[in-house]
Amino acid sequence: MFGSIAGRYDVANSFLSMGIHKWWRRVLASHWRDLPRDRPVLDLCSGTGDVLFDLEKHFDSALGADFCLPMLQRGRERRPSSHFLQADALQLPFQSASFQLVTVSFGIRNVESLERGLSEIYRVLEPEGRVLILEFGQPKNVLWRALFNWYSQYVMPLLGGVLTGNRAAYEYLPETSRLFPCGGDFVTILQRAGFGDVHYSSLSGGIAYLYRAKRPGKV
């Protein structure tokens, strides 16, 4: 599915979010500025590279990993000097404790086994390493939620279909957002996966959520 929308994915993102995704990504970036430049970081489910390109501004060694070749190819076209790797989040080709930071933006809900994906993130993080996850959720306010659900159920498939030629993808993506656990529920899932120091903030009234957690150090 991602392969079929890769060429128009970025245009559709900007259009459908009315540019707001850029602000969400800035909030994400504000949570890694205190980390040292010189240790490796990974952007998982990197798609066409938006977060990877932000990581490169701060870190000397940043890698984007995604299993969808057309998304990676689009990313490489956008910035040939960036480091993209084809890899499955369920079986990462990295040694344990390889990264000080793993980011996942709007990708974790698409990973077939959330439990396995989180355990792989945990494994490749250094002790005390940080994971930052940006993902869609559900607004808590009833009116805002109704408006957002109307937009994502009716407007997004229509516009997404026109922009990418794949209406079904833009029916599927909002549906997965609606069903995905958010806020406190996702915090519990992160804690069960072994992460500590788990926090979240809701963005734009709960349309998106940013989760921050750490792999605990040695006890």
Ligand X SMILES: C[S@@+](CC[C@H](N)C(=O)[O-])C[C@H]1O[C@@H](n2cnc3c(N)ncnc32)[C@H](O)[C@@H]1O
112 in Cβ contact with 88 (< 8 Å): no
Identity of the residue, 58 or 216, whose beta carbon is nearer to ligand X in the bound complex: 58
106 binding ligand X? (CB under 6 A): yes
Phi, psi of 40 (to 5 degrees): -65, 150
Distance CA 161, CA 199 (A): 35
Window of 42-50, 182-190, 196-204, 208-216 that interacts with ligand X by CB under 6 A: 42-50
Residue among 136 and 195 whose Cβ is closer to ligand X: 136
Counting residues that bind ligand X (by CB under 6 A) gives 18
Output DSSP code: residue 152: I
- CB distance 175 to 24 below 8 Å: no
Give yes or no for residue 105 binding ligand X (CB under 6 A): yes
Q: Which residue is nearest to ligand X (CB)?
A: 47
Residue among 26 and 140 whose Cβ is closer to ligand X: 26
Q: At what angle do helices 9-16 and 69-78 cross, to 10 degrees?
A: 80
Alpha carbon distances (Å) from 26 to 61, 64, 67, 129: 20, 18, 25, 20
Choose the stretch contacting ligand X; rule: CB under 6 A; options: 47-55, 77-85, 139-147, 160-168. Answer: 47-55
* Residue in 43, 35, 163, 60 with CA at minimum distance from that of residue 108: 43
Nearer residue to ligand X within complex by CB, 91 or 141: 91
Choices 29-37, 105-113, 143-151, 176-184 (CB under 6 A): range interacting with ligand X? 105-113
117-156 positions binding ligand X, by CB under 6 A: none
- The answer to the question of residue 170 lying near ligand X (CB under 6 A) is no
Distance, in Å, from the CA atom of 71 to the CA atom of 127, rounded to the nearest integer, reads: 31
Only one of the segments 77-85, 104-112, 155-163, 198-206 lies at the binding site for ligand X (rule: CB under 6 A); that segment is 104-112
Which secondary-structure segment (H or E) carries 142? helix 142-150
Choice between 2 and 211, CB closer to ligand X: 2
For tokens 């698409």, name the residue: 110
What does the binding site for ligand X look like in residue numbers (CB under 6 A)? 2, 45-47, 50-51, 66-68, 71, 88-90, 105-107, 110-111
